[in-house]
């Protein structure tokens, strides 16, 4: 691989508190293009971005896109990947810290494994306490990874964060036609690459994933969001089935289709439970479809949300 290949796509929104550390950890590595899509921030996020791309003399290699209104991180990451020029596209949150050799490790994996199209890693959950880290802890120790393949129900559910992901641009362009609105970029790439056996998950961490009260992923779900999620999930499932029906190079096609249909049946039972309160639906989920949940407490959460709605 030549050196003109790496694009980093970052989505920002009111990120002034932690953005400097993240930009430092990225710009000190070898990248060829930085795409930052700011989602109409109301703080000093854009000023900080401009300050740091100037500090690193990166103005000519940066595309700063300022949305006039909030379009959401899902839209931003997919759009950023579509317009990226690099052969490899990395995704970045605004508040983490990347290990210093993260990009080099990923490049080596892609270079040495032509059948790998998406790479992600474990992560260290971090509260921002710098006393817990040192120089050696910010290095990825190895290139060891596991291939994640959709041959069981567990592997339907994403097991990593999008902020650890990178994808071959050529591969992204080939599968983006199966993308549907409101599909998170990390879940999209996980599902596409586990369908065709081209996903690599590093056994070690490549980032400090900062957790704080404003993390989008930590916001609690409610009835409205849960019901919307059923519709989105059915669109996702239909897109995956469409790819299985139209792609001749996917092995174990029937097994993968069986897993996805299992998810669809479970999702529709959840939808029916929320729409009708059907005891039969929740009983069927309990007996046959609990594996559609990432954690058992999410099954309990469905019941709690529905009971709260009945009390209103």
> Looking at domain 6-215, does it have CATH number 3.30.1510.10?
no
Q: What is the 3-state secondary structure (H, E, C) of the chain?
A: CCCCCEEEEEEECCCCCCHHHHHHHHHCCCCCEEEEEECCCCCCHHHHHHHHHHHCCCHHHEEEEECCCCCCHHHHHHHHHHHCCCCEEEEECCCCEECCCHHHHHHHHHHHCCCCCEEEEEEEEECCCHHHCCCHHHCCCCCCEEEECCCCHHHHCCCCCHHHCEEEHHHHHHHHHHCCCCCCHHHHHHHHHHHCCCEEEEEEEEEEEECCCCCHHHCCCCHHHHHHHHHHHHHHHHHHHHHHHHCCCCCCHHHHHHHHHHHHHHHHHHHHHHHHCCHHHHHHHHHHCHHHCCCHHHHHHHHHHHHHHHHC
For residue 220, what pLDDT is reported?
A: 63
pLDDT for the residue numbered 129: 80
Residue 70 confidence (pLDDT): 95
Sign, CA dihedral 194-196-201-206, equals negative
pLDDT at 127: 86
Q: What is the pLDDT of residue 215?
A: 53
pLDDT digits (tens, 9 = 90+) for 8-22: 999 999 999 999 999
Give the pLDDT score at 135: 63
Report the pLDDT value the prediction gives residue 4, as an integer from 0 to 100.
58
Provide the whole-model pTM. 0.93
Low-confidence spans in the chain with pLDDT less than 50: 1, 218
Say what the pLDDT of residue 147 is. 97
Task: Give the model's pLDDT for residue 218.
Answer: 47
Domain boundaries, the chain: 6-215, 220-311
pLDDT, position 225? 83
């Amino acid at each position: 691989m030549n050196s003109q290949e790496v694009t980093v796509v970052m989505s920002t929104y009111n990120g002034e508190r932690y953005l400097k550390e993240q930009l430092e950890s990225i710009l000190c590595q070898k990248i060829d293009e930085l795409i930052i899509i700011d989602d109409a921030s109301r703080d000093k996020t854009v000023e900080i971005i401009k300050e740091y791309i100037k500090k690193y003399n990166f103005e000519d290699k940066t595309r700063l896109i300022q949305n006039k209104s909030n379009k959401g991180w899902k839209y931003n990451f997919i759009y950023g990947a579509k317009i990226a020029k690099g052969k490899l596209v990395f995704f970045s949150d605004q508040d983490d810290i990347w290990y210093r050799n993260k990009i080099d490790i990923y490049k080596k994996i892609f270079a040495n494994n032509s059948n790998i199209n998406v790479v992600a890693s474990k992560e260290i959950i971090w509260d921002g306490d710098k006393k817990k880290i040192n120089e050696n802890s910010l290095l990825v120790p190895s290139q060891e990874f596991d291939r994640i393949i959709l041959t069981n129900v567990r592997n339907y559910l994403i097991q990593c964060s999008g902020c650890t992901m990178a994808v071959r641009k050529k591969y992204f362009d080939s599968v983006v036609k199966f993308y549907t609105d409101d599909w998170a970029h990390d879940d999209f790439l996980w599902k596409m690459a586990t369908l065709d056996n081209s996903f690599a998950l590093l056994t070690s961490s490549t980032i400090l994933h900062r957790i704080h009260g404003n993390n989008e992923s930590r916001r609690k779900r409610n009835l409205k969001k849960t019901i919307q999620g059923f519709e989105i999930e059915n669109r996702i499932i239909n897109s995956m089935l469409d790819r299985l029906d139209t792609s001749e190079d996917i092995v174990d096609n029937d097994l993968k289709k069986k897993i996805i249909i299992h998810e669809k049946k479970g999702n529709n039972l959840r939808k029916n439970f929320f729409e009708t309160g059907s005891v039969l639906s929740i009983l069927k989920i309990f007996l046959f479809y609990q594996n559609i949940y990432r954690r058992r407490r999410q099954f309990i959460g469905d019941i709690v949300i529905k009971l709260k709605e009945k009390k209103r």
